[in-house]
Amino acid sequence: MSALNERSSESTGGTVYEQVQASPEFADLRSRLRRFVFPMSAAFLIWYLVYVLLASYAPSFMAIKVLGNINVGLIIGLLQFVTTFAITTIYVRYANKHLDPAAERIRERIEGAA
C-alpha cells in the first residue's frame, strides 16, 4: 500500500486490515472458529486426562486383557490417535463449509481495497 493510501485509510478509521478486523463479518468468522475449536479442544483434553488418570489410578482396569496380549490400556491409548485423526477430519470439513467461504470473502474484500 502506498503512503498516500495509508494516510487516507488512517483518516477513515485505520488500515484496511484494522477495518476488516473491526467488521461484523470478521467477528462472525472469529466466533464460528471459536465455537468449534474451544469445545473440541476441551473435549479432547478431558478424554486425554481420563486416559492419564486411568493409567495412574486404575492400573488393574487398564491391564484387563481383551484379546491375547492386547489390554484396555493399549486400546484406549490407540483410540487417542484415532480421536486425533477424527477431530482433524471433522475440523477440515467444518472449515471447508463454514470458515473458508467467509474467509475468502474477507480476503477478496481486502485485495479489492488494496
Give 49-58 pLDDT, tens digit per residue.
999 999 999 9
pLDDT at 73: 97
Model confidence at 104, pLDDT cuts 50, 70, 90, reads very high
Q: Average pLDDT in the 102-109 region?
A: 92
pLDDT at 58: 97
| Rounded distance between C-alpha atoms, residue 72 and residue 64, angstroms | 6
Give 9-47 pLDDT, tens digit per residue.
445 578 888 888 999 999 999 999 999 999 999 999 999
| Rounded distance between C-alpha atoms, residue 97 and residue 101, angstroms | 7
